[in-house]
Amino acid sequence: MVDDFLARAVAELEALPELDAVGGVFFGDDTPGLLAQMQRNEYRRYARDISRRHGRVFVLTGTASLFRSDTLAAVAAARGLVLPGSPGQVYDTISLTEDNELTLALKTLGARTLSPRECRVRTELMPTWTDLWHQRERWQRGALENIGMYGLSSATTRYWLQQFGLGYGVLALFSYLLVTFLAYVAFGVFTVVVFWALIGALFAVERTATVWSEGWRARLIAAVLLVELGYASFLQAVYVKSLLDIATGRSKHWNAAVVASRTPA
């Protein structure tokens, strides 16, 4: 957490009495390596999106968020009635993503939440692909299960659309790669279509511009494009795995061994 987060979050709550909770806008720590830089790029773009939405955020991050006590009391009172969970509990303890679930609970009750861009927090990055897989599998499956628990409502519509968008992205990328591969098998050459080449170039410019403030390493990775395409494909594989696990009823867990191995003694 950045040193002045609490002071800034308290100031927001004092300035806006109607505000019920303040979340942090998270950025990656200084973990070295290519994988860490791709995560920093991802988080930088997410922070940019939050800023463009004037602090309206999907999730009050578990990295650091501040709530009014009466707001949390209202959540606890609504558990088992309006909200999933046991009466008297602030958090739904069976949820894999308690921050996401609590955000849905607050929005269901009509609470006003905000993540101002000034409320910056620093989060730990995953140093290996295995760690990242476990982290994102928990995030993705938790998010899918959370919206399944809450169903379709005015508070969850955006979250359903987000998940459908992820699903469409998986299908679109797989279809593109499959068609490219089949064309190569059929004709023995890769055909370059000028229109799509220009679209790809514009996409590379956009990816580079959105991480420009992150430094030259971030810009280089974004400009190459194929590197981040591989990273995106990895995250899409996590999404598909999470869907399959839910569909087959596979048991869920927190990967306690991984967490323990990363917790300092």
Q: 186 and 144 in contact (C-beta within 8 Å)?
A: no
Write down the mean pLDDT value for the chain: 87
Q: 117 and 51 in contact (C-beta within 8 Å)?
A: yes
* Mean local confidence (pLDDT), 4-21: 94
Rounded Cα distance between 244 and 53, Å, is 32
Residue 251 pLDDT: 77
DSSP annotation string for 160-195: HHHHHHHHHHHHHHHHHHHHHHHHHHHHSSPPPPHH
Residue 249 pLDDT: 85
DSSP-assigned beta bridge partners for residue 120? 25
Residues 37-88: tens digit of each pLDDT? 999 999 999 999 998 888 888 899 999 999 999 999 999 999 999 999 899 9
Residues 107-155: tens digit of each pLDDT? 999 999 999 989 999 999 999 999 999 999 999 999 999 999 999 988 8
Return the ∠ at Cα 226 (arms to 222 and 229), rounded to 5°.
Answer: 85
Residue 264 pLDDT: 35
Rounded Cα distance between 43 and 164, Å, is 21
Give the pTM: 0.86
pLDDT over 50 (residue 259): no
Q: Integer distance in angstroms from the first to the last C-alpha of the chain? A: 20
* Mean local confidence (pLDDT), 79-103: 91
